[in-house]
DNA sequence: ACCTGAACACCGTTCAAGT
DNA sequence: ACCTGAACACCGTTCAAGT
């Protein structure tokens, strides 16, 4: 509520909730969820750990604020599309890439699925489901299935991404994993052995979108 | 490697990896992931915290072992079905209910998606995809989409379940949340407001299965 | 009003010392 | 070989004391 003119000449030294949240996002991106400690954050902001508690109730409050900020910025960047199907794919890719860039979002969205970020994504998907002329009684279910798939699979994907040690390239990892699959017990894992080659060639983002298309096919069939 | 006859007359006092893992599962179920500490586990087993490190490398190792044990027991209980579609629904419900009963599984499966438990579920789904006569080039994608949806949405659902304070009943919670939806800003949340009534009546398990059916429809369409 | 930093009550993990 | 429990290096959070 302070004067608006102050906003543009914000000083490096002044502590504020916004500066704390931005610093927290940087720390989370750089060091992961475990890297965000009140001590590290205080050092980065050249203050004491206790000072942060003047603006932030606790660590959970800080993570909620960081999540809200990142998701609403990301949704602002999703652009309009020609068809509802294309629009849903755009939203899906936007969510996928945002969570991939900020993997700590996963735990947050999982922990607080009724909060603003999830509602915002749900609303965006729902409008397109409506545009697809899905019967009104099926709209909630269609939008829910899409939301669940988009958010949950994006979270899983981002978790996978962190498994790779930076040393090993993705191609090497897939090669090794595919070999492991091919060498599984023939009686216990016939199917997995069978698709080992397809696994080696697969692209996570493409598989993610293929899943969206399977659901969109189902949604279209339910409408007719 | 001790004599087999010892197994049946296992004494309460003897520490073993298996006893530690079983106690860890009980602690996780009762107190959640934060309730599992080496001190609490040691107290429960009437020993010192350090003793556990003779059998368990670290906390992560312990969580992996607990996850393997619970998932393989659960998959053992899924029974045969008349059609591949029914079999996939059975596997889905089995995973859904197991994660619901042991919500700490979520974080574990997310953290280690290439380990045995995920492979076991993938294999079970894949065999049914094969039975559906999906063209071999599309089998990996179909099974992956189903696996992703089943595991990820089950995890999300279990997380939701823990949000409710035991005080509030599910019906009251849905009622309150539905009201909140109906009172959202009309310009920002037109769709969400629209489906507020459907949200109030919805059943998580039914919505989960409806999503499976949408994907199965898509999978069937891809095959023809 | 806002900030400091020591203090408290926890963690996971290690390790010398016991049996 | 197996177990004990004190010790170490961390956490999040509180709070008396400062400005």
Tell me how crowded residue A47 is: count the other CB atoms within 10 A of its CB: 15
DSSP letters for B133-165: T--HHHHHHHHHHHHHHHHHHHHHHHHHHHHS-
> According to the model, what pLDDT value does residue A11 have?
32
Identify the closest residue of chain B to A130 by CA–CA distance.
Answer: B191
Average pLDDT of B17-28?
Answer: 96
> According to the model, what pLDDT value does residue B166 have?
67
A223 touches chain B (CB under 8 A): no
Q: Does residue B162 register a pLDDT over 90?
A: no
Which residues in chain A, range 1-40, keep a C-beta under 7 Å from any nucleic strand D atom?
A: 36-40
Q: Between chains, do B114 and A191 touch, taking CB under 8 Å as contact?
A: no
Contact A36, A27 (CB under 8 A): yes
Bases along strand C below 7 A from a protein CB: 2-7, 10-16
Contact A65, A17 (CB under 8 A): yes
> According to the model, what pLDDT value does residue B161 have?
83
Q: Between chains, do A149 and B153 touch, taking CB under 8 Å as contact?
A: yes
A190 touches chain B (CB under 8 A): yes
Average pLDDT of B181-199?
Answer: 97
Per the model's pLDDT, the better-predicted residue between A3 and A119 turns out to be A119
Tell me how crowded residue B58 is: count the other CB atoms within 10 A of its CB: 11
| CA-wise closest residue to A219 among B214, B88, B6 | B214
Average pLDDT of B103-125?
Answer: 94
A149 CB neighbours in chain B (<8 A) are 148-149, 152-153, 211
| CA-wise closest residue to B174 among B149, B145, B196 | B196
Preferred mutation among B113, B148, B186 to probe A, highest tally of A CBs within 10 A: B148
A94 touches chain B (CB under 8 A): no
Measured at the CA of B172, the angle between CA B166 and CA B175, to 5 degrees, comes to 145
pLDDT digits (tens, 9 = 90+) for A65-113: 999 999 999 999 988 899 999 999 999 999 999 999 999 999 999 888 8
| CA-wise closest residue to B104 among B158, B141, B60 | B158
Q: Between chains, do A198 and B143 touch, taking CB under 8 Å as contact?
A: no
Average pLDDT of A154-178?
Answer: 85
pLDDT digits (tens, 9 = 90+) for B91-108: 999 999 999 999 999 999
The residues, ordered by sequence, that sit 6+ positions from B180 with a Cβ below 8 Å of its Cβ are: none
DSSP 8-class letter at A108: H
Average pLDDT of B23-34?
Answer: 94
> According to the model, what pLDDT value does residue A6 have?
31
The residues, ordered by sequence, that sit 6+ positions from A168 with a Cβ below 8 Å of its Cβ are: none
């Amino acid at each position: 509520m302070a004067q608006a003119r102050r906003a543009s000449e914000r000083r490096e030294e002044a502590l504020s909730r916004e500066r704390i949240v931005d610093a927290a996002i940087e720390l989370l991106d750089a060091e992961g969820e475990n890297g965000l400690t009140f001590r590290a954050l205080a050092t980065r902001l050249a203050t004491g750990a206790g000072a942060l508690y003047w603006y932030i109730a606790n660590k959970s409050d800080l993570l909620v604020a960081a999540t809200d900020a990142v998701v609403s910025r990301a949704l602002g960047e999703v652009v309009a599309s020609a068809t509802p199907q294309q629009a849903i794919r755009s939203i899906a890719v936007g969510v996928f890439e945002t969570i991939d860039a900020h993997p700590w979002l996963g735990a947050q969205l999982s922990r607080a699925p009724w909060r603003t970020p999830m509602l915002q994504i749900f609303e965006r998907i729902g409008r397109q489901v409506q545009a697809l002329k899905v019967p009104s009684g099926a709209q909630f279910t269609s939008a829910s299935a899409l939301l669940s798939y988009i958010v949950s699979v994006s979270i899983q994907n981002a978790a996978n991404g962190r498994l790779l040690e930076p040393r090993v390239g993705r191609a090497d990892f897939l090669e090794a994993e595919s070999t492991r699959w091919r060498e599984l017990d023939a009686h216990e894992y016939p199917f997995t052995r069978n698709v080992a080659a397809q696994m080696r060639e697969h692209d996570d983002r493409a598989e993610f979108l293929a899943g969206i298309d399977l659901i969109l096919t189902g949604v279209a069939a339910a409408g007719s």
